[in-house]
Structures are given as C-alpha cells and as structure tokens.
Structure 1
Amino acid sequence: MTFNLDTYLQELEKLVNIDSGSKCLAGVERVGEYFADKFKTLGWKITRHNFDQTIAPCFEISNTDKEAYDVLLLGHIDTVFPAGTVQERPFIIKDKRAYGPGVIDMKSCILSTYYALEQLQAEGKLQDKAICLILNSEEEVGSNFTQTWIETLAAKSRYVLVIESARVNGDLVLSRKGLGRYDLEFKGVSAHAGVAPENGISAIGELAYWITQLHSLTDIAAGLTVNVGVVSGGTAANVIAEQAKAEVDFRYVNPQQIEQIERKLKELIAHSQQTGVKVIIQGGANRPPMIPNEKTKVLCALTEKIGQEVGVEVNWAATGGGSDGNFTAAIGIPTIDGLGPVGGGAHSATEYLEIESIEKRLLLLKKLIERAPQL
C-alpha cells in the first residue's frame, strides 16, 4: 500500500483537535471510538472495557480469537491537557513540524500503528500472527484501574511493543525508571499571627521543613529524584496555618531507593520541627522500573537490523518518564518502547511532531511487528 502523508495529517488534525485530557472523559472516548471504528473496517475484534466511572472506556483491539498473542502493542488515548486547550492552540503545521495537544504523546503514534497494521493486513502478512492493541484511557494519571488488565494481556504475549514516541534525537527507549507519588497532609493549630502566635502550630512551617528534607534525597547520579511539585495551605497571611498539603513525585531505579524514601518519611514523623503537627501520608510506588532482560536484548538486535534496512539509525535511551511498558517488563515480557514518530515537548505548550520522521518510523514499526514473532 502507498502511504499518503496528506491523508495521514488530515486524520491527525481531527484527532489532535479533540480535548482528551484524562478527565475529559467524553473526548478520550471519542478518540478511542475513532480508532475502534477504523479497526472495525478491517474486521478486527473490538472489546470495550469500563473499568471505573472516573475514567473513559479502554479498548482492546485484536485480529484473532486466540487466547495468546505474538505481539501486544501498548498505546494510550488520554493526554495531560485540560478541557479548552484545543481552543487555545489547535493543530497547526509550521516549518516541517506539527503542533497541538497530544500530537506526539501520543495521537500520531497510535495513528502510525493503525497504518502499519492496515498495510500488513492488506499485504497478507498477519494471517499467521496474533496481534493485540491496547488503548488505555488513564495512562497519564497512573493506570491505577488498568494495570491488572495490561499485565494479564502481557502475560500471554510473546513480545510487547510500546508505541510511545521516539526521543527528541530519535532514540528508542530501552529502560525507564520506576515512579511513584505521595500525598501529604499536615494538620496544625490556627492562631492569630500577630496577637497570639505562640498558641499556633504552623502546618506550613512543618511542610517547608519536609520539602527541604525530601529534596535532599535526590541523587541524580544514582537515578533517584524526589520532587515536591504541588503545595497548598493556610487561609490568610495573619493566621498561623492550621492545614497544608503537598504532592510528591519520585523516580527510582531499584527497590532500595524506595526503602530510603520510606525511612526518611518515618524519620520526619518521629522528629518533626513543629511539635504537635499531625501528618497523614498516602501513596507509594506505582510503576516498577522497566529493565531489559536477555530476550529483550534479542528484540533490540532485530530492531537495529530492521533500522539499517529502512534507513533509521536505532540507538537506545534510558529515561525517567514512565509508561505502561514498565508493568510488562516487570513481569518478564520482552518490552521495547519509543516506536512512534520523533517529536518533543510532550506535556507542554510546545509539543511537536517531526513530520519527516513519520513514514520511516512507521516502516520500522511495521517490519518489527511482522518479524518479531519469528525470533
């Protein structure tokens, strides 16, 4: 089949111009239904999953009734952008790049996957291959309701290909850090800050101390980062703050680093700076690290060989960002990531897709889907 870039970009524009942040449930569902309808025309089996009322439906798309798969493809149909983002900055093309919310993370990636599978089917190259594509509706908020589903499908698959975008320099992704978060709530005692400050216990004061202590755990060389990214608290400048809250993100490469964070939290509770402050901690690790095994390295070698054949230089990157591939790699299934087009600026107003990368990256993915089951 001949690839038509203009048609591809017209389709991509429709998809990008749908607000589909994780909490924009109707928009996420529209994106999922768009792809479901396209795969229905190919005769593929579509299964909708409504895992929870707080997330949009997820889609399981397969060309087979078999219980096991040669290749499981992982994608997500939610973005990080709130309702109204499309109106502020809709899809545009400028200087060989396409821009818009979700253009590289990951609407173009799923669209490229559809084109690859459509072409393989038309060429008769999927007749003896069992393929399944997951479209997750809550990847950007942690896959809390979908992790078990993903792991169950991965456990009966030979290989997992994660269709997130390639890195800015074109690298594919071989390993990812594990990640997690904590929600912290501090409860102190309010008092007039000018008249009777000695009667108050500042929740904000205690939180400020915790921020510096938690940030001190960050060790870039060791792959551990801790970031207090969201804080709130207090009611007025002249009132000792009775309450404060914080949201903490952490990334790690081994379980000992989780233990290190947990020890610090226990130490902070036991030796608070503000006597009498109560602290409630919720959360923990929610994605294990994505670490390649020996079978993954064989899959990497095949990817590099195909790259030489299609004119794509294949190099591998490690990243601190998580994906659903973290789950599949952790249960031992060979998993590689970053098989979508090249782009950058994900999760920001500058998110972009390198248009010239689309066709070659599509061909790389297509040939890998075709040949991976032969390993």
Structure 2
Amino acid sequence: MESRTSAARALIDGLDGATMLAQTQRWAAINSGTRNLDGLARMADVLADAFGALPGECRLVEPAPVEAITAAGQVETIAHGRHLHLRVRPEAPAQLLFTGHMDTVYATDHPFQQVTERADGTVNGPGVSDMKGGLAVMLAALQAVETTPFAARLGYEVVINSDEETGSLASAGLLVAAARGKLAGLTYEPALPDGTLAGARGGTGNFSIVVRGRSAHAGRNPEDGRNALVAAADLALRLAAATGDGLSVNPARIDGGGPNNVVPDLAVLRVNFRPRDAAAIARADAAIATAIETVRAAHDVHIARHGSFNRPPKPMTGASETLFSQVVAAGRDLGLTVGWRATGGVCDGNTIAATGVPVVDTMGVRGGAIHSPDEFLIVDSLVERAALSVLTIGRLVTGDDA
C-alpha cells in the first residue's frame, strides 16, 4: 500500500499489524454468541481491559430488558450480556461516536470454533470479520489518534454492544443516547473484500403473531374446532403477498400444532419485514393490520401482534454523502479507491442514522462469508482500515487533510 502523504506514511509505520492480528485471534477464540452469556461476560471483561487503556471513563452497562414470545405464545424476558461504554473528553469541541458489537452468530455448541491462518493472507474463524477484527481496528485507530496533535480537540463515545446480531434490542437506548450531539458516527462492520462500503440500507421489522383458536377432535367433531395453524398459514400467505414496491416480507416460521387427531388451538407466526423507506413501513403496518383483521374474521380466531420495526431505513442524505466524501478523501491519501453501494442488510448504523447523525457503518476489516464457517478476514486490511479511520477522524476534527 503506497501512501500519498508523509502523514499517512508515518501513520502506517506506527500501526502494528501483528499485534492487531494476534488480538483478533484471541478475541475470536472466545465464543460470544448472543445467547452465550458466559462467553459474553468473558468478552466484555477482555474488551473493558483493552479499551480501558484509552483516556476517559470505561464501564460495562447492564442491558435493557427485552421480551420475546415463546413457542407456547407466552411473553418471556430474554437475558443479554453487558455492553461496553467509553466516554472520552466530553467537553471537546468535536464529538464523534464509535460503535461495534462483541457478539457473534455462533452458539456455544456450534462446530465453528477454531481460528486458522491461511496461506492466501486470510484468517478463517468465528467473528474474525464480523466483528472481532473490526474491534481491533477501532481500538488501534483510537490509540493512534491519541498520539496526534488534534486529539485534544476530539471527544468521543464508544459503544460495543452484546446483542447486535439479534437486533440490538437491549442496547438501542444506549446507542441513541450516545449518538446525541455527535458530528458523525463510525461503525466497524466489515467492508466487502474489495473495500466497498455499505451506503444506504433498508430497515427491518420482526414480528411474532400469536394465533389462538379452539381445540377439538379431528374426527369426531372437527367443526367445533378453530384451527390456529391453518389461520396462521393464511396469515403468512396474506403478508407475503404484500411484498413489492420497496417492501420484502419473509414469513420465516410457524410454531404450533400437535397430534394428528387434534385440531390445533395455538400457532405463532414469525415474520420479517424489510422496508426500503418510511413509506414502506407505513404500507407494512397497514398490511399487517388488514391481514390480521381478515384472518380473525374468516377463521374465528384471536390474534395478538408482538414486535416492531426495530431498525429504520438508512437513506443516503446530504450529510451522509459529505461524511462518505471524507472517507473517500482519506482513502485517497492512502492510495485507496473507496466506493460504496446500497445494501439490504441492517446494522446499528440504521439506529444511529435515525437520530440524524451521519454514519459510515462498514469501517472494519475487509472480509467476507460472514455468518458462515467460511468467514474470513484479509490480514493486510487490519493496518489499512485502521489508517483509513485515523485519517478520516483527522479530517472530521480539523476540517483538512490532517
């Protein structure tokens, strides 16, 4: 990687790729699937030690309470791990937000547990790209920033949550509070293997719809029953038909049913919505309401809706385009061509953008095959992306090439 300015060259020389790689490997060796509370507790302590080396106040924050619907149609509280929160120089004139997540999608008993270095310059392992490597990049960038002349002018908050992979329901409030008053946000989800960043993102909503009917003998008096499973299937078809015009609907699962000779009296439909914009959310809300009322009347069942659109769409605004241009300019100083494109995925960048703060949410490593046993990180991107972050931060703080 050829630098175009002396500042960039000095920066790259000062970043320790071997240390970042070793850190990523150690962190990826800790299983911290979202539901693995013991692993998350261990990961939180490790991260608190690492980020505690930065100035400011570093603490672990208890998760907000979260409710979920069981397969039996009951409301239960879901436990989550603690979140890391760091605040540095809150009185400084330029305030930024840095976010990431410590959880992965790999459960305690998932067979993908090992980190392997490959001859092609990549590392394969659980969370190496999404986002243990991104956390190493964030930390190295902030440590480098603390050695620069502009550090005194920069204040920032860091939020590393324990539940991003399941929707950040226990940390959304912390993210929103940390975003207030910030000039910009940088989130360390992985970039694509070629370095392309995510631009506009759609939103997401997850719902559990509980259908209660009436049981009866399937042979002796089926007419006295109200089949909740059939009603839930009807509901799934009606909701799926709402797909189109910026809205994707995915009925994903129906819990319920029982013995073949019993009319089932309970079913729980799980459905995911992906709205492109606010108008699509309004259409989805209307579709849900209409489908529920129609199915309730047609099947003589009781239906209760649970869930929300927990991550709003993240459009490209004038402010976000200005922020992206700063990242592009920082990349140019490093000899990199930085581009971006829209994506259907969601992340905490959606939540940050909804507060009105512009955010680039793929400042992490270059890598790919995330959420699979083929997940990989490109080792050379550790130093590259840390350098990109520091130069971007410098531009945001100083308003020049820093």
User: Same fold per TM (> 0.5)?
Assistant: yes
Q: CA deviation at 1:75?
A: 0.9
| CA 1:295–1:269: 2 relative to 1, 3 Å | closer
Whether 2:291 is the aligned partner of 1:268: answer yes
**What does residue range 1-375 of structure 1 map to in structure 2 within 5 Å?**
2-52=14-64, 54-66=79-91, 70-85=95-110, 88-94=112-118, 95-219=120-244, 222-272=245-295, 274-375=298-399
Cα deviation, residue 351, structure 1? 2.0
Deviating beyond 4 angstroms after TM superposition, the runs of 4 or more aligned structure 1 residues are none
Q: Distance in 2 between matches of 1:203 and 1:69?
A: 56
Distance, in Å, in 1 between the alignment partners of 2:170 and 2:93 is 22
Displacement of 1:245 in angstroms is: 0.9
Cα deviation code 1:248-273 (max 9, x no counterpart): 11111222222222222222233228
Determine if contact 1:71/1:130 at 8 Å carries over to the other structure: yes
Shift of 1:127: 2.8
Q: Cα distance, 1:168 vs. partner?
A: 4.2
CA distance in 1, matches of 2:355, 2:395: 23
User: Which amino acid counterpart does residue 388 of structure 2 have in structure 1?
Assistant: L
Q: Distance in 1 between matches of 2:49 and 2:229?
A: 51
Helix, strand or coil: the match of 1:126? helix
Aligned partners of 1:205 and 1:274 also within 8 Å: no
- Report the 3-state secondary structure (helix = DSSP H, G, I; strand = E; otherwise coil) of the residue aligned with 1:143: coil
Identity %: 28
Pair 1:122–1:367, CA change in 2 (3 A): same
Deviations 1:164-219 (A, max 9, x none): 11134421122211211111111122233334333322111111112222112222
* Count of matched residue pairs: 372
Q: Name which of structure 1's ranges 243-252 and 355-364 shifts more when overlaid on structure 2.
A: 355-364
For 2:24 and 2:348, locate their aligned partners in 1 and report how far apart those are by CA, in whole Å. Answer: 23
**Structure 1 gap segments, 5+ residues each:** none
The alignment's TM-score, normalised by the length of structure 1, stands at 0.92
TM score, norm. by length of structure 2: 0.86
Secondary structure in 2 matching 1:130: strand
More displaced 10-residue stretch of structure 1: 27-36 or 300-309: 27-36
**Deviation for aligned residue 1:297:** 1.7
CA deviations 1:278-305 (Å, max 9, x no partner) are 2111122111111233222222112111
- What SS does the aligned partner of 2:391 have? helix
Name the SS for the 2:299 alignment partner.
coil
Query: Which of 192-201 and 243-252 deviates more?
Result: 192-201
User: 2 CA distance for matches of 1:224 and 1:9?
Assistant: 40
Q: Which amino acid aligns with 1:32?
A: A
Q: Flag structure 2 segments of 5+ consecutive residues without an equivalent.
A: 1-12, 66-78
